Homo-oligomer: A and B are copies of this chain.
Amino acid sequence: MTIPRLLVVDDDAETRGMLTQFLRQNGFIALPCDSEVTIREQLDSGRVDLILLDVMLGDEYGVDICKRLRHEQDVPVILVSALSADHHRMAGYEVGADDYIAKPFNPNLLLARVKAVLHRAKRSSSLTYRRSISTFRFGGWCYDAKRDEVTSPQGYQVSLSRKETALLKVFLGNPHIPLTREEINTALDVTGDGQDAGNGNPGRAIDVLVGRLRGKIEAEPKIPEMLRTQRGVGYVFAVDVAVEDDQ
Protein backbone atom coordinates (compact mmCIF):
# COMPACT_ATOMS: atom_id res chain seq x y z
CA MET A 1 0.00 0.00 0.00
CA THR A 2 1.19 3.43 -0.86
CA ILE A 3 0.22 6.89 0.15
CA PRO A 4 -1.01 8.84 -2.85
CA ARG A 5 1.35 11.53 -4.09
CA LEU A 6 -0.31 14.70 -5.30
CA LEU A 7 1.14 17.70 -7.04
CA VAL A 8 -0.33 21.01 -5.92
CA VAL A 9 0.24 23.49 -8.70
CA ASP A 10 -0.53 27.12 -7.99
CA ASP A 11 1.51 30.24 -8.51
CA ASP A 12 0.09 31.92 -5.44
CA ALA A 13 2.31 30.85 -2.56
CA GLU A 14 -0.35 31.26 0.10
CA THR A 15 -2.99 29.16 -1.65
CA ARG A 16 -0.37 26.58 -2.51
CA GLY A 17 0.81 26.38 1.08
CA MET A 18 -2.65 26.08 2.55
CA LEU A 19 -3.70 23.43 0.09
CA THR A 20 -0.52 21.46 0.59
CA GLN A 21 -0.86 21.52 4.33
CA PHE A 22 -4.52 20.62 4.21
CA LEU A 23 -3.87 17.64 1.97
CA ARG A 24 -0.96 16.46 4.07
CA GLN A 25 -3.04 16.55 7.16
CA ASN A 26 -5.55 14.40 5.40
CA GLY A 27 -3.17 11.65 4.62
CA PHE A 28 -1.67 12.55 1.29
CA ILE A 29 1.83 13.35 0.20
CA ALA A 30 1.45 16.81 -1.28
CA LEU A 31 4.20 18.28 -3.41
CA PRO A 32 3.96 21.99 -4.14
CA CYS A 33 4.77 23.25 -7.64
CA ASP A 34 4.51 26.66 -9.17
CA SER A 35 5.15 26.14 -12.85
CA GLU A 36 5.18 23.63 -15.65
CA VAL A 37 8.92 23.22 -15.17
CA THR A 38 8.56 22.14 -11.56
CA ILE A 39 5.70 19.84 -12.51
CA ARG A 40 7.94 18.10 -14.97
CA GLU A 41 10.71 17.80 -12.44
CA GLN A 42 8.34 16.06 -10.06
CA LEU A 43 6.98 13.81 -12.76
CA ASP A 44 10.49 12.83 -13.74
CA SER A 45 11.66 12.25 -10.22
CA GLY A 46 9.01 9.85 -9.03
CA ARG A 47 5.49 8.54 -9.10
CA VAL A 48 2.68 11.10 -9.12
CA ASP A 49 -0.89 9.93 -8.62
CA LEU A 50 -2.83 13.12 -9.16
CA ILE A 51 -2.24 16.72 -10.17
CA LEU A 52 -4.27 19.56 -8.69
CA LEU A 53 -3.78 22.25 -11.26
CA ASP A 54 -4.72 25.90 -10.97
CA VAL A 55 -6.23 27.20 -14.18
CA MET A 56 -4.59 30.59 -13.99
CA LEU A 57 -0.88 30.05 -13.68
CA GLY A 58 0.71 33.42 -14.31
CA ASP A 59 0.41 34.03 -18.04
CA GLU A 60 0.08 30.35 -18.68
CA TYR A 61 -3.23 28.63 -18.87
CA GLY A 62 -3.48 25.54 -16.75
CA VAL A 63 -5.70 24.17 -19.46
CA ASP A 64 -2.81 24.25 -21.91
CA ILE A 65 -0.52 22.55 -19.47
CA CYS A 66 -3.18 19.96 -18.83
CA LYS A 67 -3.44 19.36 -22.54
CA ARG A 68 0.29 18.88 -22.94
CA LEU A 69 0.51 16.60 -19.94
CA ARG A 70 -2.35 14.53 -21.24
CA HIS A 71 -0.57 14.04 -24.49
CA GLU A 72 2.40 12.56 -22.73
CA GLN A 73 1.22 10.81 -19.61
CA ASP A 74 -1.83 9.42 -17.99
CA VAL A 75 -1.79 11.15 -14.65
CA PRO A 76 -5.25 12.21 -13.47
CA VAL A 77 -5.69 15.98 -13.31
CA ILE A 78 -8.16 18.07 -11.31
CA LEU A 79 -8.39 21.64 -12.50
CA VAL A 80 -8.95 24.30 -9.86
CA SER A 81 -10.23 27.64 -10.96
CA ALA A 82 -11.88 30.89 -10.05
CA LEU A 83 -13.79 30.59 -13.29
CA SER A 84 -16.94 28.58 -13.06
CA ALA A 85 -18.57 29.53 -16.32
CA ASP A 86 -19.66 26.63 -18.42
CA HIS A 87 -17.30 27.19 -21.30
CA HIS A 88 -14.38 27.13 -18.91
CA ARG A 89 -15.51 23.87 -17.42
CA MET A 90 -15.95 22.52 -20.88
CA ALA A 91 -12.51 23.55 -21.96
CA GLY A 92 -11.26 21.69 -18.90
CA TYR A 93 -13.06 18.48 -19.66
CA GLU A 94 -12.14 18.61 -23.29
CA VAL A 95 -8.44 18.64 -22.63
CA GLY A 96 -8.93 15.56 -20.51
CA ALA A 97 -9.19 16.87 -16.97
CA ASP A 98 -10.71 14.33 -14.64
CA ASP A 99 -12.55 16.93 -12.64
CA TYR A 100 -13.01 20.65 -12.35
CA ILE A 101 -13.46 22.54 -9.10
CA ALA A 102 -14.44 26.18 -8.90
CA LYS A 103 -13.01 28.46 -6.23
CA PRO A 104 -13.93 29.13 -3.57
CA PHE A 105 -14.47 25.48 -2.77
CA ASN A 106 -15.57 23.61 0.29
CA PRO A 107 -12.43 21.77 1.52
CA ASN A 108 -14.43 18.65 2.15
CA LEU A 109 -15.78 18.70 -1.34
CA LEU A 110 -12.25 18.98 -2.67
CA LEU A 111 -11.22 16.06 -0.53
CA ALA A 112 -14.19 14.01 -1.67
CA ARG A 113 -13.33 14.64 -5.31
CA VAL A 114 -9.66 13.94 -4.89
CA LYS A 115 -10.55 10.63 -3.34
CA ALA A 116 -13.10 9.91 -6.03
CA VAL A 117 -10.58 10.53 -8.80
CA LEU A 118 -7.92 8.49 -7.04
CA HIS A 119 -10.41 5.73 -6.54
CA ARG A 120 -11.22 5.64 -10.21
CA ALA A 121 -7.54 5.70 -11.08
CA LYS A 122 -6.96 2.86 -8.67
CA ARG A 123 -9.39 0.67 -10.51
CA SER A 124 -7.23 0.86 -13.56
CA SER A 125 -3.82 0.53 -11.99
CA SER A 126 -2.05 -1.12 -9.17
CA LEU A 127 -2.13 1.99 -7.03
CA THR A 128 -3.75 1.39 -3.73
CA TYR A 129 -4.83 4.09 -1.45
CA ARG A 130 -4.00 4.28 2.16
CA ARG A 131 -4.82 6.88 4.66
CA SER A 132 -2.56 9.17 6.56
CA ILE A 133 -0.16 7.50 8.55
CA SER A 134 2.48 9.16 10.32
CA THR A 135 3.85 9.51 13.75
CA PHE A 136 5.39 12.72 14.96
CA ARG A 137 8.03 12.68 17.68
CA PHE A 138 9.00 15.85 19.49
CA GLY A 139 10.84 16.37 22.73
CA GLY A 140 10.07 12.92 24.02
CA TRP A 141 6.42 13.25 23.11
CA CYS A 142 4.68 11.34 20.39
CA TYR A 143 1.67 12.18 18.28
CA ASP A 144 0.03 9.38 16.34
CA ALA A 145 -1.78 11.09 13.50
CA LYS A 146 -3.77 8.02 12.62
CA ARG A 147 -5.23 7.44 16.02
CA ASP A 148 -5.11 11.05 17.07
CA GLU A 149 -3.32 10.02 20.22
CA VAL A 150 -0.75 11.98 22.13
CA THR A 151 1.66 10.17 24.39
CA SER A 152 3.92 11.79 26.96
CA PRO A 153 7.61 10.97 27.50
CA GLN A 154 6.52 8.99 30.54
CA GLY A 155 4.18 6.95 28.41
CA TYR A 156 0.81 8.09 29.65
CA GLN A 157 -1.76 9.30 27.21
CA VAL A 158 -3.05 12.82 27.05
CA SER A 159 -6.41 13.59 25.52
CA LEU A 160 -6.55 16.75 23.51
CA SER A 161 -9.69 18.43 22.30
CA ARG A 162 -10.21 18.74 18.58
CA LYS A 163 -9.02 22.31 18.44
CA GLU A 164 -6.00 21.55 20.57
CA THR A 165 -5.10 18.67 18.30
CA ALA A 166 -5.45 20.89 15.26
CA LEU A 167 -3.20 23.47 16.86
CA LEU A 168 -0.61 20.86 17.68
CA LYS A 169 -0.68 19.68 14.08
CA VAL A 170 -0.04 23.20 12.89
CA PHE A 171 3.01 23.50 15.12
CA LEU A 172 4.26 20.04 14.20
CA GLY A 173 4.13 21.06 10.57
CA ASN A 174 6.08 24.24 11.23
CA PRO A 175 8.76 23.62 13.84
CA HIS A 176 11.08 26.53 14.64
CA ILE A 177 9.04 28.86 12.45
CA PRO A 178 7.45 31.81 14.24
CA LEU A 179 3.75 31.89 13.47
CA THR A 180 1.52 34.90 13.94
CA ARG A 181 -1.89 34.51 15.51
CA GLU A 182 -3.42 35.25 12.17
CA GLU A 183 -1.44 32.53 10.45
CA ILE A 184 -2.38 30.05 13.12
CA ASN A 185 -5.99 31.05 12.83
CA THR A 186 -5.98 30.55 9.07
CA ALA A 187 -4.23 27.23 9.39
CA LEU A 188 -6.76 26.11 11.98
CA ASP A 189 -9.67 26.98 9.77
CA VAL A 190 -8.30 24.78 7.08
CA THR A 191 -6.96 22.07 9.30
CA GLY A 192 -9.76 21.87 11.77
CA ASP A 193 -10.83 18.64 10.20
CA GLY A 194 -13.25 20.35 8.11
CA GLN A 195 -15.75 22.68 9.49
CA ASP A 196 -16.48 25.91 7.78
CA ALA A 197 -13.93 28.62 7.43
CA GLY A 198 -14.03 30.31 10.77
CA ASN A 199 -14.73 33.77 11.93
CA GLY A 200 -12.70 36.66 10.68
CA ASN A 201 -10.09 37.30 13.30
CA PRO A 202 -11.66 37.53 16.67
CA GLY A 203 -10.31 38.13 20.09
CA ARG A 204 -7.78 36.15 22.00
CA ALA A 205 -8.98 32.69 21.14
CA ILE A 206 -5.52 31.60 19.99
CA ASP A 207 -3.89 32.81 23.19
CA VAL A 208 -6.33 30.85 25.27
CA LEU A 209 -5.97 27.81 23.05
CA VAL A 210 -2.19 27.91 23.29
CA GLY A 211 -2.53 28.22 27.04
CA ARG A 212 -4.71 25.16 27.19
CA LEU A 213 -2.35 23.13 25.02
CA ARG A 214 0.56 24.20 27.20
CA GLY A 215 -1.36 23.01 30.20
CA LYS A 216 -1.50 19.55 28.65
CA ILE A 217 1.87 19.03 26.99
CA GLU A 218 4.30 21.27 28.84
CA ALA A 219 6.00 19.87 31.91
CA GLU A 220 5.93 23.33 33.44
CA PRO A 221 3.24 25.32 31.61
CA LYS A 222 4.34 28.56 33.23
CA ILE A 223 7.82 28.17 31.73
CA PRO A 224 7.05 26.67 28.34
CA GLU A 225 9.85 24.73 26.66
CA MET A 226 8.15 23.92 23.40
CA LEU A 227 5.33 26.40 22.82
CA ARG A 228 7.36 29.56 23.15
CA THR A 229 5.90 33.05 22.99
CA GLN A 230 7.53 35.56 20.67
CA ARG A 231 6.43 38.84 22.06
CA GLY A 232 4.92 41.10 19.43
CA VAL A 233 5.00 38.27 16.88
CA GLY A 234 3.20 35.16 17.93
CA TYR A 235 4.34 31.67 18.90
CA VAL A 236 7.09 29.25 17.88
CA PHE A 237 7.30 25.55 18.33
CA ALA A 238 10.89 25.44 19.56
CA VAL A 239 11.54 21.70 19.29
CA ASP A 240 12.77 19.40 16.56
CA VAL A 241 10.08 17.24 15.05
CA ALA A 242 10.73 13.82 13.57
CA VAL A 243 8.13 12.41 11.21
CA GLU A 244 7.77 8.71 10.69
CA ASP A 245 5.72 7.40 7.82
CA ASP A 246 4.80 3.86 8.29
CA GLN A 247 4.39 3.00 4.69
Partner-B contacts on A (CB < 8 A):
27, 74, 86-87, 89-90, 93-94, 96-98, 105-106, 108-109, 111-113, 115-116, 119-120, 123-124, 126-127, 130-131, 162, 176-178, 193-196, 230-233, 240
Q: A89-B109, A120-B124 are known contacts. Are A194 and B178 too (CB-CB below 8 A)?
A: yes
Say whether B90 contacts A109, CB under 8 Å: yes
Residue of B105, B115, B177 near A115 (CB, 8 A) is B177
Say whether A108 contacts B90, CB under 8 Å: yes
Q: A86-B105, A90-B106, A94-B112 are in contact. List 11 more A-B contacts (CB 8 A).
A: A87-B106, A93-B112, A98-B116, A108-B177, A108-B233, A115-B176, A123-B127, A131-B176, A131-B240, A162-B231, A178-B193
User: In the complex, A123 Cα to B127 Cα: how many Å?
Assistant: 8
Say whether A113 contacts B87, CB under 8 Å: no
How many monomers of this chain does the complex have? 2
A75 to chain B, nearest CB (A): 12
Question: Could you say which residues of chain B place their CB within 8 Å of the CB of A93?
Answer: 109, 112-113, 115-116
User: In the complex, A111 Cα to B106 Cα: how many Å?
Assistant: 26
Question: Could you say which residues of chain B place their CB within 8 Å of the CB of A193?
Answer: 178, 230, 233
Enumerate 8 A-B pairs (CB-CB under 8 Å) in ascending A order. A27-B176, A90-B112, A93-B109, A93-B113, A96-B116, A120-B120, A131-B176, A195-B230
Question: Could you say which residues of chain B place their CB within 8 Å of the CB of A98?
Answer: 116, 120
Say whether A112 contacts B233, CB under 8 Å: no
Say whether B116 contacts A233, CB under 8 Å: no
A106 to chain B, nearest CB (A): 4
User: In the complex, A123 Cα to B90 Cα: how many Å?
Assistant: 21
Say whether A195 contacts B115, CB under 8 Å: no
Question: Could you say which residues of chain B place their CB within 8 Å of the CB of A109?
Answer: 86-87, 89-90, 93
User: In the complex, A201 Cα to B216 Cα: how many Å?
Assistant: 39
Question: Could you say which residues of chain B place their CB within 8 Å of the CB of A116?
Answer: 93, 96-98
Q: Name the residue on B nearest A177 (C-beta).
A: B112
User: In the complex, A96 Cα to B119 Cα: how many Å?
Assistant: 9
